[in-house]
Homo-oligomer: A and B are copies of this chain.
Amino acid sequence: MTTEHTSGTSDPARSLALLWRGGERAGRRGKHDLSVDRVVRAAIELADTEGVAALSMRKVAERLGVGTMSLYTYVPGKSELVDVMVDTVHGELGRHHEAPGGWRARLELIARDNWALCHRHPWLLQVLTSRPPLGPNISLDYEYQLRAIDGIGLSDLEMDSVTTLVTGYVHGAARGSVDAARDQRDSGLTDEQWWDTQAPFLRKVMEPGRFPVSSRVGAAAGEAYNAASDPDQAFEFGLARVLDGLQVFIDRKADAAPER
């Protein structure tokens, strides 16, 4: 990680052409064992199984039986490779704009799909930033998310706010869940075991009277989840609250302007 700054080139034309696969020219000269798709697939497999920390150009090349620098023929650098990985896995998402049940059911489906995607590719959330790679799959997903709430009385700006809230919420909850799974794997300790190693020391260092409510609540949570928390339960609880909040918002708009 010497240079963090997205590679020295940062050529938006090249990046977008890569994402939309615009540069596949035919009749190439030299030999061609590799392709963008093979590189990307290998990188995704590697990240899925070994984690984003193990995702290095050397390891990807090794997995393909190829020299490290050969990758740079197909991909300008690591950050662009990651961009393509992100867009690629977004192709796995369902497209629910026509699903029955109204906006609430559709948003819920979208949320659950994204939740599942984040768990299938735990590196996704470690790699997302505020400017998404505008590849074909991400663009389509955005379109479908908006269609799920189109025509229900929201302004364009409000529609954007709603999708931002839902994806934002899912990402946050999924981050908690995925981090918990990773912590458990890396440490070799379940949450319960981890707590058991901390507890005796905490008891020694915390004055008993200072944390009455958290002791009570922590004990209840520990008993219910066999852990400090249960990510799936947290996701369900929060999703219901967010959708309830949106319902309030949408109903209020409908009351204010009945029958258009």
Contacts and interface: CB of A to CB of B under 8 A. Distances in A.
Interface of A: 1, 4-6, 10, 12-13, 16-17, 20, 22, 51, 53, 129-131, 134, 139-140, 142-143, 146-147, 150, 155-157, 159-161, 164-165, 168-169, 171-173, 175-176, 179-180, 182-183, 186-187, 191, 194, 197-198, 201-202, 205-206, 210-214, 216-221, 224, 228-229, 231, 233-234, 237-238, 240-249
A10 to B, nearest CB: 7
A234 B168 contact: yes
B241 A179 contact: no
Question: Of residues A129, A155, A214, which shows the largest number of chain B Cβ atoms within 10 Å of its Cβ?
Answer: A214
A147 B188 CA distance: 34
B241 A165 contact: yes
Contact of A173 (B168, B176, B220): B168
Contacts of A213: 143, 146-147, 150
